[in-house]
Amino acid sequence: MDTIVKKQTIVQVKQETNSPKNPTSFIIAVALVVLVGGALFLYSRVSWQQALLYVLGAFGGFVLYQAHFGFTSAWRKFILYRQGEGIRAQMIMMLVASIFFMPLLLKGSIFGHAVAGYVYDVGISVIVGAFIFGIGMQLGDGCASGTLYHIGGGDTNGIVTLIGFIAGSVIATTHFDFWMNTPHLAPISLIHQLGAVGGFLLQLALLALVYYVVTVIEKRRHGKLVSTKIENKNGWKAIYKGPWSLLVGAILLAIMNVLVLIVSGKPWGITSAFALWGAKFVQLFGVDPTQWSYWRDPAKLNALKSPLYQDTTTVMDISLMFGALLAAAFAGRYAKPIQWRRPSRMTIGALIGGLLMGYGARLAFGCNIGAYFSGIVSFSAHGWVWFVFAFLGSLIGVKLRPYCAYKN
């Protein structure tokens, strides 16, 4: 018996010796090195704009984690419990961003370079793509931004979802020509079709309508608005340790998207990078993605032929994960061990969810960020269509979650 106890003690001592004495401090140090080092690398190899976008991506990841700003969970809470705090925060985020986007989009330039929003066709591809994305975001337990910040926050399920996301994106690019030839309307910009005043008033009316409907339904169910109570145990340190309110997260994410538009000339996006990563991966096995219609676009083809660090979306996606990692470490997430073991059904669900989101995002010209957030604040009709059909898809996705061992 004494021998067994001694052996166990020796094993514990070895484990403690091999692991960092303070894992939280170690992770903070790693995250800062990657973020600072990455910014300096991009500044020297690409441009100061690319370095700044890398920083903005990290800022986005930090905000998403500390405010727990989830698109998927916000929709799920409303569908199941008629709690609309998250959706109302999204409408406020859209309003703030729209106010700043409109003059920039109308002028079409700033600081000597062109500025344009995400305004795409409205048709079958957007409807189908958004619908299956809505199903996938519930099965994958996170949308595009959610998947990335979950990974940074230590959710290993997000890794499986991301793998499916990349695979689905690649598959969609092989079918891209078919979907682009389905019935559709030309791109519709509210501020260009209706004028600045008319377009903005319609945008305001739509945002107010969603806000109002969600509020009325919630009050009918609960008799009042249900708000998440935030327990601040960190005092002034909550500035970097969190948690933050959804309203703070909404405003900061809106400002971030405005800055991305100013610096890069286009709004924030996420999922185009997944298609790029997947295309570069299949190239390793002798597959030629340039034969697929998706890559015939000169800008996309140039991205495929260039190093990944020159792709703005890739740079921001990577820094988003490390920004979330930094936030999670500050919040004390890594004081507890990461749970690697997951039910098989959850792994399968995450993989299927990722596949659906990856495929759907390419069909619908974006995800919850590129199509929903950035599409709507670009005053594009396709952003509103995406919202409607992705929400309808989520109604189905929520019903399927229990089969994937998720707890609603």
Which parts of the chain sit beneath pLDDT 70?
Answer: 1-22, 408
CA distance 74 to 64: 13
CA distance 235 to 285: 53
Residue 267 is assigned to a structural domain of this protein: yes
Distances (CA, A) of 100 to 34, 121, 128, 129: 31, 23, 31, 28
Residue 17 is assigned to a structural domain of this protein: no
| Tokens describing residue 295 | 């890559």
CA distance 196 to 187: 17
Per residue in 40-52, pLDDT (tens digit) is 999 999 999 999 9
Q: How would you classify residue 242: left for phi > 0, otherwise alpha for psi between -120 and 50, otherwise beta?
A: left
| Tokens describing residue 280 | 């570069």
Q: Which of 212, 216, 217, 190 is nearest to 201 (CA)?
A: 190
Give the per-residue pLDDT at 21. Answer: 57
Residue 7 is assigned to a structural domain of this protein: no
For residue 356, the enclosing domain spans 22-225+239-404
Residue 62 is assigned to a structural domain of this protein: yes
User: What's the maximum distance between 2 C-alpha atoms anywhere in the chain?
Assistant: 83
Give the per-residue pLDDT at 227. Answer: 84
Per residue in 210-240, pLDDT (tens digit) is 999 999 999 999 999 888 888 777 778 778 8
Q: Enter the pTM of the model.
A: 0.91
Q: What is the total count of domains within the chain?
A: 1
Residue 66 is assigned to a structural domain of this protein: yes
Is 123 strand, coil or helix? strand
How many angstroms from the chain centroid is the CA of residue 333?
Answer: 20
Residue 234 is assigned to a structural domain of this protein: no
| Tokens describing residue 258 | 């405005």
Residue 210 is assigned to a structural domain of this protein: yes
Give the per-residue pLDDT at 235. Answer: 79
Residue 212 is assigned to a structural domain of this protein: yes
